Structure 1
Amino acid sequence: MQRNGVMECSVCHSKVVAGTPRSISRAYDKHKSKISSKQRVLTFLLVSGDCVLVGLQPILVFMCKVDGKFQFSPISVNFLTEVTKVFFAMIMLMIESRKQKVGEKSLLSVSTFVQAARNNVLLAIPALLYAINNYLKFIMQLYFNPSTVKMLSNLKVLVIAVLLKFIMRRRFSIIQWEALALLLIGISVNQLRSMPEGTKTFGLPVTAIAYIYTLIFVTVPSFASVYNEYALKSQFDTNIYLQNVFLYGYGAIFNLLGILGTVIFQGPESFDILRGHSRATFFLICNNAAQGILSSFFFKYADTILKKYSSTVATIFTGLASAAFLGHTLTINFLLGISIVFISMHQFFSPLAKVKDDKPAGTLELGDAQKHSHPILLL
């Protein structure tokens, strides 16, 4: 709700300055402490759904391999995933437009699309980073088994926390930093080998290649997640499905450029995006699409830390599923690592770990208002 140039949250009545990372972070911190029971149930459903979908993702990728290799182009799977998400967002926009009241500006009008395109152009950055990360997910499967891939991906939580601290000025207590350190220890305990020693790829030891991919695999999506949260929340009044149209549309464009690049280096036959696909890849595309849609709700209505911790819970699901369907062994390292991870989660979200706000809720962030002259934004 806007009054005299000031946007006010309809839930907790917080007033914040737009365009400043601290304001966005502070507004969310105040809002999440006063959410209703209905919203808590929604959060629980989001986390539960995310755990299942994220847990299944490396399993499905592993099942898509034939003799340890992919018979299809990973970029084609990512392209089809983005196209699927665009179609879903468009269908939801049509449904949302039918629910609009008389006199409201149509979500499907050309002017709405043009204005939203201008306001959400920043979504192109996380879309590009996600396109790179989605390709790396397949590459990582060539060096690690599904359980280890899931555990390595959880390293993103610590990187994301640091980025949130410096980019969005989000505050964490000492207990929460200790919880993140515990998370890193738990992940380190679960170091599993998936390839024999001495194996080489591109003339380098496989461990060196794996470490390079792991570094990129951890940092790139971390930047993407934090920037995506900032981009979505900075245009909070824009319908989430309309934002998703642009986010996934950019992603489809970047993956299409990747396909065209492979055509240049590998020949025209690589342009067949359906080559080598199977029933497993179909389920993988659907799973990845659903996972991406859920992620957008996390980034806009929750936060990146909660999203990554919910993905951490999926680790145990991935390990159990790998043992049940793929015959992988659950080692003592895995069990100890999971135990430490769950202790970390409990500690991070404990009421005792919360940062105490030094300003009463519902007040204007005067410090930010004096430093910036941007319009006020509802969060």
Structure 2
Amino acid sequence: MAKDISNGPGTTLECSVCHSKLLAPSPRTVSRAYDSHRSTVSSKSRALNFLLVVGDCALVGFQPILVYMSKVDGKFKFSPISVNFLTEAAKVLFAIAMLLFQARRQKVGEKPLLSFHTFKQAARNNVLLAVPAFLYAINNYLKFIMQLYFNPATVKMLSNLKVLVIAVLLKMIMRRRFSIIQWEALALLLIGISVNQLRSLPEGNTALGLPVATGAYIYTLIFVSVPSMASVFNEYAMKSQFDTSIYLQNIFLYGYGAIFNLLAIIGIALFKGPSSFDIFQGHSKATMLLIFNNAAQGILSSFFFKYADTILKKYSSTVATIFTGIASAALFGHTLTINFMLGISIVFISMHQFFSPLAKVKDETQNGTEMLDGQNLRTKDIPFINMTAGATEDASHRVVSDDRQPLLPL
């Protein structure tokens, strides 16, 4: 058990057993620990990163198409909240199944995953996951609303605006550092999206008594800001409790999400009557595929947030735009305009520039040591897990080198 000790501008932790002292992790510490750790990933980890990106592109690319296929006469015959609830429930069941599988493969002497004490302690340490769960519940509903204004390819391009918002939030909340070249790449991304969006709004429709352009822009603003905050809080919550099993964290995250959506269903039932409580009303094969796709997409996203990076997740979603555009053109006859093709080209240039080795932020070093929040600490003396783990009761106080540990689980 560790306790906080005030120490000038920073905070240290003192172990109650051996009374050793460590610097408490801060958002900048988490960020720099991640940057240093990411630079030593193995070829297997890069391969897993590639598989994550490919899987994410396929799932994210299909998502707006399945939503479009679920509409009847331009409207939804089902409650979008019911789809979100069933999606969260499916993810909870998958997380439970994987946690049971992981528990069966535990070695002798390891901390049991299925004990009540472990579950209770993990629930208390991961309570922050309720914040992104609530924000995701709002965002998942907005995904359906946006389909009433834009075609699938346009919705996908609009969602790419989140990358810039996420970068700003990462810098503010997690103290992530981006080079000038990377900020320029994000600016190029905005330009590419803007080129694609020229004259993309439908005409002659109204929503909530507002002109369609006004309503669409309001929903777009919310559609961009809410999931961006959810992604950053999700990554911070996942990485700050790095020792907790990802499947256990998913149980909490998706469990909170299911609760929020269930409360919304109950509220609608109280307002419209008991008949609206039928969560399977109006569902079709397309909606069942949509539920499966959304569940798989959410599970894959959790691995991005814990073992990879939010920016990588959003850029991989950007790659899905070209797939969405081509598929929607083939299936629904949507036109691939010159604006769309130019926008996609600029987006790919932005992505190449952002991840170029020339754009990498140089570490601030002094005599072989890294400056962590005003104090010189040798990075090799503090493991990545201890840096990202918060000041929890079961935080380890062991100081061992772990620089060679892969970014993704092998």
Q: Match of 1:377, SS?
A: helix
Higher relative contact order (CA 8 A, sep 6+): 1
In structure 1, the residue corresponding to 2:315 is in which secondary structure?
helix
Superposition deviation, residue 377 in structure 1: 2.3
AA aligned opposite 1:63: M
Aligned to 1:137: 143
Q: Which has the higher strand share?
A: 2
Match of 2:364 among 348, 358, 364: 358
Which of structure 1's runs of 4+ aligned residues deviate more than 3 A? 4-7, 16-19, 192-196, 360-366
2:185 maps to which of 179, 187, 194: 179
Supply the distance in 2 between the matched residues of 1:92 and 1:362 (Cα, whole angstroms): 42
> Deviation of residue 328 (structure 1)?
0.8
Larger displacement relative to structure 2 (334-343 or 103-112): 103-112
TM-score by length of 2: 0.85
Query: 59-68 or 322-331, which moves further after superposition?
Result: 322-331
1:266 to partner: Cα distance? 1.3
- The one-letter code of the counterpart of 1:95 is F
Shift of 1:74: 0.2
CA RMSD of aligned residues (A): 2.1
**What's the CA shift for 1:369?**
6.1
For each residue in 1:272-331, what CA deviation from the matched residue of structure 2 results, as whole angstroms up to 9, or x when unmatched?
000000000010000000000011000001111000000000000100110111111110
**Bigger mean CA offset, 184-193 vs 350-359:** 184-193
- For the pair shown, the structure with the greater C-alpha radius of gyration is 2
Shift of 1:53: 0.3
What amino acid maps onto 2:154 in structure 1?
A: T
Matches within 5 A, 1:24-63: 24-63=30-69
**CA 1:200–1:234 in 2, change beyond 3 Å: closer, same or farther?**
same
CA, structure 1 residues 194+270, in 2 after alignment: closer, same or farther (shift >3 Å)?
A: farther
1-side partners of 2:232 and 2:85: how far apart? 23
Distance 1:293 1:105 in 2: 24
Structure 1 distance, partners of 2:313, 2:303, is: 10
Q: In 2 relative to 1, CA 152–196 (structure 1 residues): closer, same or farther, beyond 3 Å?
A: closer
5+ residue gaps, structure 1, are 8-15, 371-375
Aligned to 2:289: 283
Structure 1 window deviating more from structure 2 (188-197 vs 359-368): it is 359-368
The Cα offsets for residues 161-219 of structure 1, whole Å up to 9 and x where unpaired, read as 01111111111110000000000000000116566434222221011010000000000
Question: How far 1:365 sits from its partner (Å)?
Answer: 5.0
- The residue number in structure 2 matching 1:377 is 386
The one-character-per-residue Cα deviations of 1:327-372 (angstroms, maximum 9, x if unpaired) are: 11110000000000000000000000000001279956543669xx
Aligned match of 2:350: 344
Q: Find the counterpart in structure 2 of residue 112 from structure 1.
A: 118
Aligned to 1:268: 274
- Matching residue of 2:404: none
Structure 1 segment 1-379 matched on structure 2, within 5 A: 17-191=23-197, 196-359=202-365, 363=369, 365-367=371-373, 377-379=386-388
Q: Does the CA contact (< 8 Å) of 1:153 and 1:217 recur in 2?
A: yes
Q: Deviations over 1:117-152 (max 9, x none)?
A: 000000000000000000000000000000000000
1:234-258 CA-partner distances (Å, limit 9, x unpaired): 0000000000000000000000011
Q: Check 1:68–1:292 CA distance in 2 against 1; reply closer, same or farther (3 A cut).
A: same
Counterpart of 2:405?
A: none
Q: CA separation in 2, counterparts of 1:287 and 1:250?
A: 20
Q: 1:136 to 1:17 in 2, by over 3 A?
A: farther
Cα gap change, 1:230 to 1:361, in 2 (>3 Å): farther
Contact 1:237 1:378 in 2 (8 A): no
Q: Is the 8 A contact 1:17 1:365 kept in 2?
A: no
